[in-house]
């Protein structure tokens, strides 16, 4: 069962205006501080649309978003931290001994009763051995080698607007794994609350490309080869 929880805990004040003011600095005689006050909400909106459609994404780096992320598996946190243009601080299994072991159970496993029972048995057996090792004086940093990737973890993640657009283009794609898709659906929902224009731009890459560049399409857009054949 998924337990993904995401909360936006901090962000650049007035993020979209900040992005727009930064973008206007390059073409306006006015200073950024003046632009921050002068730009109308409509002008901010127009500027953001133009930046997106022209692919001029560097101004989006000036708005940054910090999220508390909880209830994801270590499978997903491992996938997440491959995105290097972001900052992460994760709960340590070296310093925090896991007396209780919360873990994620994928729906495909829950759907098969017999397998689900064996899964829980396997995970609990691994945790039992972990506790036994702690009791035997083995440090948590070594005992943890026996723990499954299903283990629940929590972290704080900071990404700027440009990286959010990029990572969502990869991880909102339905070819990505369900748990990380769900994580970024929740990230998107949090961003939409404070930066609706940017939030709306957090979408799978196919929406920008107009076709699917994966080997197999989920059905939203045809794959590039099929598009070519149709021409």
Instruction: State the catalytic residues.
Output: 171
The burial of 55, by beta-carbon neighbours within 10 Å (0-12 exposed, 13-18 middle, 19 or more buried), is given as exposed
Please report how close the Cβ of residue 85 comes to ligand FAD at its closest, in angstroms.
5
> Is there a contact between 123 and 148 (Cβ–Cβ < 8 Å)?
yes
Residue from 30, 36, 38 nearest 16 by CA: 36
End-to-end CA distance of the chain: 44
Helices marked H in 30-160? 32-38, 41-54, 74-80, 107-110, 113-135, 140-143
The C-alpha atoms of residue 112 and residue 119 are separated, in whole angstroms, by 10
Residue from 219, 198, 225 nearest 8 by CA: 198
Residue from 39, 2, 1 nearest 17 by CA: 39
The C-alpha atoms of residue 25 and residue 227 are separated, in whole angstroms, by 40
> Measured from the CB atom, is 35 or 191 closer to ligand FAD?
191
Instruction: Rule CB under 6 A: say whether 131 interacts with ligand FAD.
Output: no
> Measured from the CB atom, is 171 or 188 closer to ligand FAD?
171
Please report how close the Cβ of residue 206 comes to ligand FAD at its closest, in angstroms.
13
Please report how close the Cβ of residue 171 comes to ligand FAD at its closest, in angstroms.
6
Q: What is the CA radius of gyration of the chain?
A: 22
Q: Which stretch binds ligand FAD (CB under 6 A): 58-66, 94-102, 167-175, 223-231?
A: 167-175
With tokens 């001994």, the residue in question is 97
> Measured from the CB atom, is 17 or 62 closer to ligand FAD?
62
Please report how close the Cβ of residue 220 comes to ligand FAD at its closest, in angstroms.
15
Chain position whose Cβ is nearest to ligand FAD: 84
- Mark residues 171-200: x for contact with ligand FAD by CB under 6 A, - for none: x---xx------------------------
Instruction: Rule CB under 6 A: say whether 203 interacts with ligand FAD.
Output: no
Which of 43, 57, 170, 223 binds ligand FAD (CB under 6 A)? It is 170
Instruction: Rule CB under 6 A: say whether 85 interacts with ligand FAD.
Output: yes
Q: Which stretch binds ligand FAD (CB under 6 A): 61-69, 112-120, 145-153, 170-178?
A: 170-178
The residues of the shown chain that bind ligand FAD, judged by CB under 6 A, are 82-85, 166-167, 170-171, 175-176
């Amino acid at each position: 069962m998924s337990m993904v929880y995401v909360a936006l805990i901090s962000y650049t004040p007035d993020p979209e205006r900040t992005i727009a003011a930064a973008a206007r600095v390059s073409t306006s005689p006015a200073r950024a501080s003046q632009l921050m006050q002068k730009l109308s909400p409509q002008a901010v909106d127009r500027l953001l649309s133009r930046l997106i459609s022209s692919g001029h994404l560097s101004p989006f780096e000036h708005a940054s978003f910090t999220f508390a992320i909880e209830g994801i598996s270590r499978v997903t946190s491992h996938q997440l931290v491959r995105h290097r243009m972001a900052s992460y601080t994760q709960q340590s299994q070296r310093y925090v001994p896991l007396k209780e072991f919360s873990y994620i159970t994928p729906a495909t496993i829950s759907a098969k009763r017999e397998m689900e029972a064996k899964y829980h048995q396997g995970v609990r057996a691994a945790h039992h051995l972990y506790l036994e090792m702690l009791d035997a004086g083995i440090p948590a940093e070594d005992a943890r080698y026996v723990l499954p990737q299903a283990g629940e973890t929590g972290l704080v993640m900071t990404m700027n607007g440009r990286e959010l657009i990029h990572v969502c283009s990869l991880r909102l794609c339905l070819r990505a794994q369900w748990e990380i898709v769900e994580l970024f659906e929740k990230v998107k929902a949090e961003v939409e609350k404070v930066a609706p224009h940017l939030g709306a731009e957090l979408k799978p890459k196919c929406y920008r490309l107009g076709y699917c560049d994966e080997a197999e399409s989920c059905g939203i857009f045809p794959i590039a080869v099929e598009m070519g054949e149709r021409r």
